[in-house]
Amino acid sequence: MKITASKIVLLIIVLAAALLYGIQQRIEQFADTRLMIEQEMLFTLPAGTGRVGLENLLIKNNVIERKREFAWLLRLQPQLAEFKAGTYRLTPDMTVRQLLMLLASGKEAQFSVRFVEGSRLRDWMLILQQSEMITPTLTALSESELASRLGLPAETPLEGRFYPDTYLYTAGTSDVALLKRAYAQMERALSEVWQQRMAGLPYQTPQQLLIMASIIEKETALNEERGKVASVFVNRLQRGMRLQTDPTVIYGMGDSYTGTITRQDLRTPSAYNTYIISGLPPTPIAMPSRASLLAAANPEQTDYLYFVADGKGGHVFSTNLDSHNTAVRAYRRAQRQQNEER
């Protein structure tokens, strides 16, 4: 049987097509292969990494096996080769294709840091130092130096000026970048609340409202009590009474506070001892929540001038000293009884 040239060409075409189909199937099978990892991991792709560099990094980190199909896949599907530098979160159920799609998307792994309401600036700095994937730039700075790094005048008091919240970030984000976000968010919240404040309050500036909110934050964790606590302090200021609030004394004591306040502590002068000074302390004493900002701006309308813990997580409010002293004695009896039962 004579084989013509046209038949030879056709045979070559058929064989080439079969070969290409086989290669395509191998590439597709490889692309749908699951990664070798057995648990979630973070994978960092440095800037400037090329195709070969990516493959070597994946092999080095035991994410994939060395196979020629990897290079073929990137050539045949170039959209998967448009990977971006960053830190990504890989999971065991992910395929090679999904990995490359993730790297091409630029959707880096998200981390979170939570700043709790009622905490102080020094607490925040410690949290930032201990948080993963944050680039430290503020270690061992004074408050004036920190203010300058935030783009603020060096004399700006920073306590209370950062909004407590959970902040998401990507690997390599600097501590100063996160603080700038928290500062800007508090500025927005304070501005909004200041515009919504009740008339006739004893605050001349938003900073004074912020100071009051920080005191409210430290006095109660119960949302239903914030307005009452605010009313007590506003009533006292309007009557020319001292605030006489323990959290300000504690703040003024600094590192000398060991968990208890003595009578001597209450008699020791400091800029924050509201048993001695009149009016508000010079700065906030903590980072207040929005709920405390709103309470400071819109306190309940009451005649309360005193409050004391009730031993159950809340407080007893009083309009006069006699009633207050009765509530104090009841609290102390309850405390003694609890101590005896232990």
**Other CB atoms within 10 A of residue 213 CB:** 30
Domain boundary among 105, 133, 154: 105
Is pTM beyond 0.85 here?
Answer: yes
For helices 121-130 and 175-195, the axis angle rounded to 10 degrees is 140
Do 303 and 174 lie in one domain? The reply is: no
Is the torsion defined by CA of 203, 204, 208, 209 positive or negative? positive
DSSP state of 84: -
Strand spans (E) along 79-204: 86-90, 111-114, 134-135, 166-169, 173-174
**Within this chain, do residues 255 and 336 fall inside the same structural domain, yes or no?**
yes
Domain co-membership, 21 together with 84? yes
Q: Which residues of 214-252 are buried (b: 16+ CB within 10 A; e: fewer)?
A: bbbbbbbeeeebbbbbbbbbbbbbeeeeebebebbbbbb
Token look-up 């000074």 returns: 277
- Asked if residue 7 has pLDDT above 70, the reply is no
Do 159 and 93 share a structural domain? no
Among 68, 83, 105, the domain-final residue is 105
Q: What is the mean pLDDT of residues 189-207?
A: 97
* 73, 51: one domain: yes
Domain that holds residue 259: 198-341
Q: What is the CATH number of the domain that holds 21?
A: 3.30.1490.480
**Which pair of tokens denotes residue 256?**
């000398």
**Average pLDDT over the chain, rounded to an integer:** 92
| Number of domains, the chain | 3
- The DSSP bridge pattern shows strands 111-114 and 315-318 to be unpaired
> Which pLDDT value is given to residue 97?
95
156 in the same domain as 204: no
pLDDT of residue 156: 93
* Predicted confidence (pLDDT) per residue in 289-331, tens digit: 999 999 999 999 999 999 998 888 899 999 999 999 999 898 8
For residue 266, give the amino acid letter: L
How far is the C-alpha of 252 from the C-alpha of 223, rounded, in Å? Answer: 26
Pairwise pLDDT comparison (279 vs 11), residue with the higher score? 279
Q: What angle, 0 to 180 degrees and rounded to 10, lies between the N-to-C axes of helices 290-297 and 175-195?
A: 30
CB 286 within 8 A of CB 162: no
At residue 140, what are phi and psi to the nearest 5 degrees? Answer: 65, 25
The pLDDT score that the predictor gives to residue 85 is 96
**Closest among 285, 153, 165 to 218, alpha carbons compared:** 285
Instruction: Give the tens place of pLDDT for each residue, 199-210.
Output: 999 999 999 999
If asked whether residues 208 and 334 sit together in one domain, one would say yes
Tell me, yes or no, whether 101 and 136 share the same domain.
Answer: no
pLDDT tens column, 105-149: 999 999 999 999 999 999 999 999 999 999 999 988 999 999 999
239 shares its domain with 131 = no
Report which of residues 312 and 163 the model is more confident about: 163
Q: Give me the percent of the chain exceeding a pLDDT of 90.
A: 81
Name the residue with higher pLDDT: 341 or 291. 291
> Based on the domain organization, do 325 and 233 belong to the same domain?
yes
| Lowest-confidence pick of 72-76, 98-102, 187-191 | 72-76
Q: Over pLDDT 70: what percentage of the chain?
A: 92
Among the candidates 105, 130, 159, a domain finishes at: 105
- For residues 186-202, give the mean pLDDT: 97
Asked if residue 248 and residue 287 are part of one domain, the reply reads yes
- Spatial separation of the C-alpha atoms in residues 143 and 125, rounded to whole Å: 11
CB distance 294 to 193 below 8 Å: yes
Q: What is residue 165's three-state secondary structure?
A: coil
pLDDT of residue 17: 57
- Concatenated DSSP letters for 194-217? HHTPPTT-S-SSHHHHHHHHHHHH
Same domain flag for 89 and 16: yes
On the question of pLDDT at 8 being above 90, the answer is no
Rounded-to-integer distance, Cα 98 and Cα 107, Å: 12
